[in-house]
Structure 1
Amino acid sequence: MADPTPDVPAAPATRPLGVSRPDLTVADLPTPEEVFGVRRIGPKELFRYALGPSLIALGISVGSGEWLLGPQAVGKYGFEGVGWIIVVSAVLQTLYNIECSRYVVATGEAPVVGWGRVPPGWFLWVPLSVFVVIFAFIAGGWAASAGQGMYALVHGEVPGKDAEEPRLWAIALLVVVFLITAAARRISRALELANWLMVGTILAALLLIDLFIVPFSGWWEGIKGFVTPAAPPDGITATELGGLAGFTALASGLNWYVMGHYRDKGYGMGHRTGFISGLRGERVKLLDSGVTFPDDEKNAALWKRWYRLLRTDMWGIFFVGAMLGMLLPTILMARAVELSGTRPTQANVPTFVAAALDEEYGRWLFYAALLLGVLILFSTQLGIFEAMVRVTTDAAHATSPRLRALLEGDPRRFYYPFMLVLLVIISVILHLALPVSLVQWSANMVNLGALIYPFMLMYLNTRLPRAARPRLWHHVVLVLNFLFFGFFFVNFVADFAGDPLITF
């Protein structure tokens, strides 16, 4: 006699992680070959398909810290006492980035969604994290600085202090960012390709200009300054030093806001959770909760492969690029100061090098430096503007069932309207202060993240599958991030209130 009980499909295995969010679904890790559609990952496939998310972070980094705050600090105070802070910041931030990305690769969740698993829950950490990111970057100093460069490139002269046209150019470049994302099939891939082109051009052009005009003594002073510990120079303020530390490499404690691109790239479990596609791409389902892998030998071996790819991307592209991106502009700025006999100010640092080279070498190098500056600052504009929209979209999509129903499973219906709203808000704000002062404000605000997120990462990452859990020294690195960048934030707040804890 046949069994009348119908077959009931087994419920998928799940794994609890943290509080206030659904359990993670459990599935096998994909292979890198499966994700990238290749037979094997050799050197060619590595560069063509696997590497890239760190380039988006590097594109942001090269514009804010490396082209503005680093050269301004070196131009005013020299390399001694400044260079070692740059190196320490870059090393700590690269290690911190790896820890942020560890969570993304192991769960397929963007960090802003993962924070919702930390007690007391998403209702505190998700809205707070979105607010901190937007508050830190909405000032628009990166956009205003790019607008200054565009004005000088078009008119052949540095804009006046209160000129309106540079701000209009800044707004126009924000519109270009919108058009790039709208024209993409897969937004993260479009940003990668744009940054491969821009960052590659930037570093190659900077190297050629430096080889042409910077004497050997200038190269040696820069390299020596990077590796020689010394007290900060007399006269540098807590705000300047904190801004330099915060925006060297990327954004110190808020670096996590860019690491969600590893999900969209398909790294590890990101392949299982979906991505945000562009308007030209097909609608792709983006899961509102993550997926992780079982604790078994097969998945432990696959995790090691993904973790190697992550470290290669971070150390081979992000760290090396960030160090070159800081060395090449700072020695160029030092040479420009030497040639002009003056020092950069907050008002003229975006165009200072071009003006100095114009007087010494003629208009061709003036325009070359301006074009280079615009590329550098636009790469930052592209990454920051898109990331603010991405973080808000991920947070809203993951935490609001009502919004998901309204969007009918298509996060683009929130992503693009919110980008337009943000464009209008930034267009108003960037009229309120000098570009570099806005960037310094943002750079010090990102140090606030170092007081919060390292400990949240410890909570999350120690609850991952065993193969993905960090070792003790990884926790030590996170504490060092807290101490280093947290000190600069506390000193910035004290300085802002009128009485810094430490003066130099």
Structure 2
Amino acid sequence: MSSAGDAGRVAVETYQIGTNRPPLVVTDLPEPEEVFKVPRIGPKEAITKVIGPSLIALGLSIGSGEWLLGPLGVAQYGFIGLGWVILLSAILQTFYNVEITRYIMATGEVPVLGWARVPLGLFLWMPLGLLMVYFANIWGGWAAGAGEGLYVLLTGNLVDEPGERTAARWLAVGLMVLVLVITLFGQKIARTLELVNWVIVGFILVTLLLVDLFIVPASKWWEGLRGFLTPALPPSGVDATLLGGLAGYTALASGLNWYNMNYYRDHGYGMGARVGFIAGLVGGRQEEVMPSGVTFPDTPENARRWKRWFRLLLLDQWVVFFGGAILGMYLTTILVSHLASLPGEEPPTRATMPTYAADVLSRHYSSGLYAWALLVGFFILFSTQLGVFESLVRNVVDALHGTSPGFRRLIAGDPRRFYYPFMALLVVVISFLIFQALPTGLILISANMSNLGVLVFPFLLMYLNSKLPGPARMRWWSYVVLILNTIFFGFFFLNFLWQRITGTALVSF
């Protein structure tokens, strides 16, 4: 529809989606070359300019699930059954990510603002979404795990005494402060995170591959591959909490993946290029971030551009995110499974998992591999810390900035005036929480709470994506995939919840 202003003002075409939010301004989709400032998008430009948001998600993905929960489960129960859960989880989450980003590319709005458009959303779905994200991620298990790994790397002492655990936790606090420092720099905070993750994820995957090639026997490679590709029920006796955590954190955060997709807006995908981004404090100039999104008219030219953007999204998600998540889980699980099979070695436990690989490598191979495993473990968990911590801050900033005129006046239109003080406050809150439990136990709680999100957000996404302009509107297969996400991850959450309440899993294997 169109709305006209006062006399002498140009009429502005708008498009309404849902309720409780202003209508979207209608303008043409930009060409990818316009956004990324290149004459054409070829393989080089795709790697250096287009790929990016999925790297932040991948840095988060190759973290708690891949370094802690996946190897812990496989070392205790084997590949058959668990490998199939891992593969299905990664496939379903990648489809889910594509549907989340469909909305961002078509409107320039991040998901937390999209939830406000669903009926009752401003007062129910948006605050409920933030509550779920915080309840799942504020416990700081990733930070505590990174702190323990760094402590062992620096001192050579295992974290098995109260004083050592306290020192490791303080290192974790310092690492959260480091995240704040990293976000200070760059034209876009999102771009800074992408570049950091290029380095971290590249180091993790390349060195993991090399070490596995040298020490993991061919039989273990085949055992792992067969486990991933063999349809099977989870193994007998598997713990429901571990199983739910493995499903939830295999790729990203199952039902709560939406909280880490905001970077597609800041990177400039689709209509995100028309909305603005959060700039770094040093090296960035904060331009206006529109509180409400924009969309495009249903014309042949915009339909053509949409197809181009969607192909770029599929490249970013299926090649980088899905490929990297599966490779990361595969390389870590075959490594730890091999180490657990060595003479005299016991399978890892929740308490020993953060430094298990390093300990066994030092006993059977070399001190160099001991240091490497600690360094990789640290980078894996730190990249998770980087993505989780920044996203906790970003989603609150985006929600307040997009829905509250009073908040926008308070910060004088510059989100950074709230972003950095709020991040500092979260350092204090999470610092307290990480002193309360073991890292793996905290991460298992977070992963299972992530599964809770599939009982809500896929349905909200169906509502929003069914109302997009014609070329962007979801098709029948998108409904099927979102319902499968709800069934798959919802089962693991209900099984976990029933066990926590009754002491016995709803379904035992």
TM-score when scaled to structure 2?
0.97
Distance 1:121 1:346 in 2: 38
| Structure 1 counterpart of 2:239 | 237
| Structure 2 counterpart of 1:304 | 307
* Deviation string, structure 1 residues 411-434 (Cα, Å, up to 9, x no partner): 111111110011100000001111
User: More deviation in 156-165 or 99-108?
Assistant: 156-165
- Cα shift at 1:234: 2.1
* Deviation string, structure 1 residues 343-385 (Cα, Å, up to 9, x no partner): 1111110100000000011211100111111111111010000
| Structure 1 counterpart of 2:361 | 357
Distance 1:177 1:185 in 2: 16
Distance 2:50 2:81 in 1: 38
| Structure 2 counterpart of 1:31 | 31
Distance 2:79 2:147 in 1: 28
Distance 1:186 1:35 in 2: 14
2:167 to 165, 168, 171: 165
| Structure 2 counterpart of 1:47 | 47
Misfit runs of 4+, over 2 Å: none
Extract unaligned runs of 5+ from structure 1. 1-5
1:503 to 484, 488, 508: 508
Secondary structure, counterpart of 1:449 in structure 2 = helix
Distance 2:121 2:364 in 1: 59
After TM superposition, list the pairs within 5 Å mapping 1:60-139 onto structure 2. Answer: 60-139=60-139
| Structure 1 counterpart of 2:421 | 417
| Structure 1 counterpart of 2:472 | 468
Distance 1:93 1:81 in 2: 18
- Cα shift at 1:232: 1.5
| Structure 1 counterpart of 2:412 | 408
User: Does structure 2 retain, via aligned residues, the 8 Å contact 1:158–1:355?
Assistant: no
Is 2:208 the partner of 1:203?
Answer: no
After TM superposition, list the pairs within 5 Å mapping 1:327-346 onto structure 2. Answer: 327-339=330-342, 340-346=344-350
Is 2:445 the partner of 1:453?
Answer: no
Distance 1:32 1:210 in 2: 39
- Cα shift at 1:88: 0.2
Secondary structure, counterpart of 1:13 in structure 2 = strand
- Cα shift at 1:150: 0.3
- Cα shift at 1:503: 1.6
TM-score when scaled to structure 1?
0.98
Q: What letter corresponds to residue 385 of structure 1 in structure 2?
A: F
Q: What letter corresponds to residue 372 of structure 1 in structure 2?
A: V
* Deviation string, structure 1 residues 118-147 (Cα, Å, up to 9, x no partner): 012312111111111111100100000001
* Deviation string, structure 1 residues 375-405 (Cα, Å, up to 9, x no partner): 1111101000000000111011111110100
- Cα shift at 1:12: 1.2
Q: What letter corresponds to residue 98 of structure 2 in structure 1?
A: I
| Structure 2 counterpart of 1:266 | 268
Percent identical across equivalent pairs? 57
Extract unaligned runs of 5+ from structure 2. 1-5
Is 2:352 the partner of 1:348?
Answer: yes
Is 2:343 the partner of 1:367?
Answer: no
Secondary structure, counterpart of 1:14 in structure 2 = strand
Distance 1:121 1:333 in 2: 44
- Cα shift at 1:161: 5.2
Is 2:189 the partner of 1:187?
Answer: yes
Is 2:487 the partner of 1:483?
Answer: yes
* Deviation string, structure 1 residues 279-321 (Cα, Å, up to 9, x no partner): 0210111110000000111111100000000000000100000
Question: Closer, same or farther in 2 for the Cα pair 1:161/1:243, shift >3 Å?
Answer: farther
- Cα shift at 1:235: 2.1
Q: What letter corresponds to residue 306 of structure 2 in structure 1?
A: W
After TM superposition, list the pairs within 5 Å mapping 1:14-25 onto structure 2. Answer: 14-25=14-25
Q: What letter corresponds to residue 119 of structure 1 in structure 2?
A: P
Secondary structure, counterpart of 1:269 in structure 2 = helix
| Structure 1 counterpart of 2:3 | none
- Cα shift at 1:231: 2.3
| Structure 2 counterpart of 1:277 | 279
| Structure 1 counterpart of 2:438 | 434
User: More deviation in 8-17 or 211-220?
Assistant: 8-17
| Structure 2 counterpart of 1:219 | 221
Q: What letter corresponds to residue 492 of structure 1 in structure 2?
A: F
User: Does structure 2 retain, via aligned residues, the 8 Å contact 1:156–1:367?
Assistant: no
Distance 1:313 1:250 in 2: 15
Secondary structure, counterpart of 1:25 in structure 2 = strand
- Cα shift at 1:476: 0.2
